[in-house]
Structure 1
Amino acid sequence: MVQIRFSIITIALGVVSINAQISTWVANETSISYAKMYNNIQPAGTAAGCVIASPSISNPDYYYSWVRDSAMTLKVVINQYNTTSASNSTLLSIIKNYVTFSRNTQTESTPCSCIGEPKFNVDGSAYTGAWGRPQNDGPAIRATALIKFAYSYIAQTGDKSYVLSALYDGKLPTSTIIKADLEYVSNNWRSVCYDLWEEVEGNHFFTMMVQRRSLIEGAAFATYMDDTGAANYYSEQAADILTALKTFWNLEAGTIETTQNYTQGVKYKSSGLDCAQILGVLHGYAGDGQFSPNNDELLSTAYNLKQKFASLYPVNYNNSSYATAIGRYPEDEYDGTGTSEGNPWILCTAAYAELYSKAAMQYDIDGAIYVTANNLNFIKQFYSSASSGDVYSSSSSQYTTIVNGLYSGADGFFETISYHANTDGSLGEEWDRTTGYNVGAHDLTWSYASFITASLARSGTPAF
């Protein structure tokens, strides 16, 4: 087990909260989530740098290293190294081990013969069983995380040689992890792949969002590393991805579509609603105003999805005193061990808490709230007199009411997580839609990472 002194990474809850009790619980659960997340990073019996999805080895068996889940987790680790735990040698060792493990998987012979191979055995060898492959979101998220690390590592240590030898060498063919990921993303983003839920092959909003961000930040990093030709190419591809992303908006349905160009996979996702769109913005927003956390199309999607789950799950309509527990998508049939009826997911509910906090912060950056036909229903949750066309400046009472409502709404989702969490603070994958008890994989690493990033957003110090 990795030993981290959590006293040096305790977050400060900086936003105003009307609920001191939930503030105390969030702070405590954040410490628990850090500890339990680290339990799943290179545990005994796994290769150095391996991040397991869960210790669960049966019903379901998640004792593997998923590229996407691992990259989501390392975002949290790297955020600590870059901020509250700068120069921490234990964190640095974990990150470097992850780099080595991941680079080895990039060069491993795999069934898809590509960097989009979705998961590996805990010793780093290829998983060769049947699976939905390729999945092209993981390399993009990994590149984004390691670019943030590379900048910080150079700033903290002055050691650019490690970056050149292990992270980005600017060569083709490359022997470095970030360069390999960026080349894969930039040359394959148009290709169909499986989605983050590993069920549908096509072109996906979530995947393209994280790919675009990786290429925007990759272009800046390539310039920093004097690889200007690659920087130009990455920028060109990012611009083309944005054009494609804008076609996902379905005005009639009031939602951002999940997938285009379906080729195979489950066929029952008829509503077009999916938490993947929320996650896509949380992990794929590049800070350039395109598909920001307060984007009116995204907020319309978030509202419609939440309303659907409010009336779908008994844990919601039988217990309306708590905020809506959020699942993956309404038609979901995966129940944690097999197929029957889908359930609320912890990481999806935490994503809503993070979205609400980040939307409030983005309004503060913008200095005003613009009410449109798209975001009207979402805004009216907090200010019922809102009308399309209204503009509320940051000095207005309407603005204050809405922003405070967003922070209170985020706390509501934390209260829902608190209500359903195990008594020891452990977080699994799902809650049974009727009983509310944890089901599916226990101690899901992504659940802990998602809770931590939601907590950081609540504190006013969001992870990248």
Structure 2
Amino acid sequence: MSAPFKQQASLDVWMRRQYGLSAAKMMSAISRVDLVKERRGFGRLLRPAKGSILASPVIAAYDPDPDYFFHWLRDSAVIIDALRLLIESEEIARPEGLAHFSDFLGFSLTLCGLDGRSFLAGAGDYRAKVEPHFAQFLRPEADLLAISGDDILGEPRFDPDGSIDILKWSRPQHDGPALRVLAVARFCQSVGPGPDIFKQAEELIIRDLGFTFARWRAPSFDIWEEELGRHYYTQLVQCEALREGGLWLESRGAIESATAYLDASQEIAAGLDDFWSAPQGFVRSRIAAAGSGPQKELDIATVLAVIHAGREAGAHSVCDSRLIATLGRLEALFADAYTINTTQPGADAPAMGRYDGDRYYSGGAYFFSTLGAAEFHFKAAQAVAKGFLHDASEWARIGLDSKHDGHHLFEALLRCGDLFMTTVAAYTSENGDLSEQFDQTTGVQTSAKNLAWSHAAFISAYASREKALRSAKGVSP
């Protein structure tokens, strides 16, 4: 655990160093064809295919760390979006980044073609290789047989060798394809791949848009893979994917599909307001299906939704007073809930978790949650610099009111973001390792080691900070 920083200069040095370390560690999760994972008890020997992205490249088997040797659609989209940022900042060379992007597209398209019946036909009697104790964790064969057509895109994760996950899990999940649309589209717009890579990207976007359009009304599991229902995160990224996809198709003359997608996006946008609870004073993360269990409505997932959807201004962006209030409620929740936030010196910004009463592993703080709070402030600072956010009174909790001008608001937001980065620094290993969680009492890193999403979240937060500073100087980000 690192000591908190006392001076801005030392924080700046640490952030730049950690940016490079996180870049290297995140990249170590991509196309790890050199690794072999034996999933003991299930008779599985897994060699990742080129283009696959591991949630964590550290091999584990709930011993005690969780087995994250999977290619999640959600996580992989977040990592590809961070890969774009690394290319933009020249942290990695453009040819290397494009090669990884092309491999990812090819692997993703292969997954799109998977079919449950074909998988079972080729897998032989795989159940015979499963030890008796582990049979309880297998998916029913009928579940696998039912996977056909675009049903495959409702799968949250795959084995990294490109095969269907045979284990019981929370299915379906509908945010992954929408998030992938946004990541792939932004990559193409920013990096400008050649015609062959663009053709791959176009095919994947069309498939993901079709799935998103067909399924956006259907209930699915949330990003924590715990509750079936209607979720703010899923709906917001679906809304943005269909909007951006509709505009893209419109520019290419596909008017009928473009109109349908844009109409659906507007319908989703109208429904997003249902998540706001004025009596509670925050945007609820979910509207759960009947009988789905206890709801966890005040949830960092709402903040991550705004960051990943990427709206610069307006409703459901960092400029939305409802989301600003929600972040404030979350900060207050975790400031009181976690011992590390009440006993550790210099904890000027709280370590952030997921929701109240979380019981997964330490049930504590998450690096991507705390980094998400930092990034929200940095994006809000950029919105101020670009003239999208004017009302300082929405940020009264950081000592501002309506009498403060844009300069004071920008500086205050940047400072708050830096305080969250300081909190992250306090629990980051000297070698730059970022796990999934750090314990709410001891601060020790826990759960999956070197989570690729944690490193991607650092890259994204740091890049947002840099863009805010450039915007303030009148330099195009």
Shorter-chain TM-score bucket reads: 0.7 to 0.9
- Paired with 1:84 and 1:225, the residues of 2 have a C-alpha distance of 31
* Structure 1 counterpart of 2:225, from 184, 198, 203: 198
The secondary structure found in structure 1 opposite 2:245 is helix
What RMSD in Å do the two structures reach over aligned CA positions?
2.3
Query: Does structure 1 residue 350 correspond to structure 2 residue 385?
Result: no
- Relative distance call for 1:415 and 1:84 in structure 2 (3 A) is same
In structure 1, the partner of 2:99 is 93
Deviation at 1:167, TM superposition (A): 2.9
Cα offsets for 1:308-336 (capped at 9, x unmatched): 10010000011252120000111211125
Whether the aligned pair in 1 keeps the contact of 2:20 and 2:91 (CA below 8 Å) is no
CA distance in 1 between counterparts of 2:171 and 2:53 reads 20
Deviations 1:49-91 (A, max 9, x none): 0000012422211111111000000011133445647972211
Q: Secondary structure at the match of 2:390?
A: strand
Residues in 2 aligned to 1:435 and 1:403: alpha-carbon distance in whole angstroms: 34
Which residue of 146, 164, 167 maps to 2:201? 167
Give the TM-score, by structure 2 length.
0.82
Alignment-derived partner of residue 171 in structure 1: none
The answer to which structure has the higher helix fraction is 2
C-alpha separation in 2, matches of 1:326 and 1:244: 28
Q: Distance in 2 between matches of 1:91 and 1:227?
A: 30
Give the whole-Å Cα distance in 1 for the aligned partners of 2:257 and 2:106.
24
Residue in structure 1 matched with residue 172 of structure 2 by the alignment: 134
Q: Deviations over 1:395-416 (max 9, x none)?
A: xx54333321211111111111
Give the partner amino acid of 1:120: F
Q: TM-score, normalised by structure 1?
A: 0.85
For residue 381 of structure 1, the aligned residue among 398, 402, 405 is 398
CA deviation profile, 1:164-208 (whole Å, cap 9, x unmatched): 4x233xxxxxxx211010011111111100000000110100011
State the alpha-carbon separation in 2 of the partners of residues 91 and 310 from structure 1: 39
Cα distance in 2 between the residues matched to 1:349 and 1:99 = 30
Name the structure 1 match of 2:209.
182
Give the unaligned 5+ runs of structure 1: 1-16, 169-175, 337-341
Question: How many residue pairs get matched?
Answer: 416
Match status 1:207 vs 2:241: no
Counterpart in the other structure of 1:430: 437
Residue number in structure 1 paired with 2:128:
none
Whole-Å Cα distance in 2 between the matches of residues 149 and 432 of structure 1? Answer: 35
| Letter matched to residue 281 of structure 1 | V
Equivalent residue number for residue 383 of structure 2? 362
SS at match of 2:386: helix
Tell me, yes or no, if the aligned pair for 2:285 and 2:301 is still in contact at 8 Å.
yes
| Aligned with residue 240 of structure 1, among 244, 253, 267 | 267
Counterpart for residue 181 of structure 2:
143
What SS is found at the alignment partner of 2:253?
coil
The share of aligned pairs that are identical, in percent, is 28
Q: Which of 41, 48, 51 is 2:50 aligned to? A: 48
Rounded to whole Å, the distance in 1 between the matches of 2:388 and 2:264 is 31
Counterparts of 2:235 and 2:407 in 1: how far apart (Å)?
A: 34
**SS of residue paired to 1:356:** helix
Equivalent in the alignment of 1:108: 114
When residues 70 and 264 of structure 1 are mapped into structure 2, their CA distance, relative to the original with a 3 A threshold, is farther
Q: What residue in structure 1 maps to residue 294 of structure 2?
A: 267
Change (3 A) 1:420 1:162: closer
Q: Is contact 2:436-2:448 (8 Å) kept?
A: yes
For residue 260 of structure 1, give the secondary structure of its aligned residue in structure 2.
Answer: strand
1:10-68 deviation digits (Å, cap 9, x = unpaired): xxxxxxx9711101000000100000000111112310000000124222111111110
**Distance in 2 between residues matched to 1:281 and 1:303, nearest whole Å:** 15
- Evaluate the alpha carbon distance shift between residue 310 and residue 65 of structure 1 in structure 2; reply closer, same or farther with a 3 A threshold: same
Query: Deviation of residue 369 (structure 1)?
Result: 2.4
Question: Which whole-Å CA distance do the structure 1 matches of 2:190 and 2:398 have between them?
Answer: 40
Confirm or deny: 8 A CA contact 1:201 1:264 kept in the other structure. no
Deviations 1:210-245 (A, max 9, x none): 111111111122123332211111100100000010
Greater CA drift, 102-111 or 452-461: 102-111
**What's 1:284 paired with?**
309
| 1:402 maps onto 2:423 in alignment | no
Residues 246-303 of structure 1: per-residue CA shift (max 9 Å, x gap): 111000110001111424544263xx21000000000113345221112100010000
One-letter amino acid of the counterpart of residue 183, structure 1:
G
Unaligned runs of 5+ in 2: 1-5, 36-47, 117-143, 471-475
What letter matches 2:275 in structure 1? F
Residue in 1 that maps onto 2:119: none
Write the distance in 1 (CA, Å) between the matches of 2:409 and 2:190. Answer: 36
Aligned counterpart, 2:160: 122
Using the alignment, how far apart are the partners of 2:458 and 2:389 within structure 1?
28
1:136–1:232: structure 2 CA closer, same or farther, 3 Å change rule? same
Cross-structure match for 1:13: none
Partner of 1:58: 61
Structure 1 pair 268–455 and aligned structure 2 pair: CA distance change class (3 A) = same
Q: What SS does structure 2 have at the residue aligned with 1:369?
A: coil
Alignment partners' CA distance in 1, 2:280 and 2:410? 26
Give the letter for the 1:21 counterpart: S
Distance 1:349 1:274, change over 3 A: same
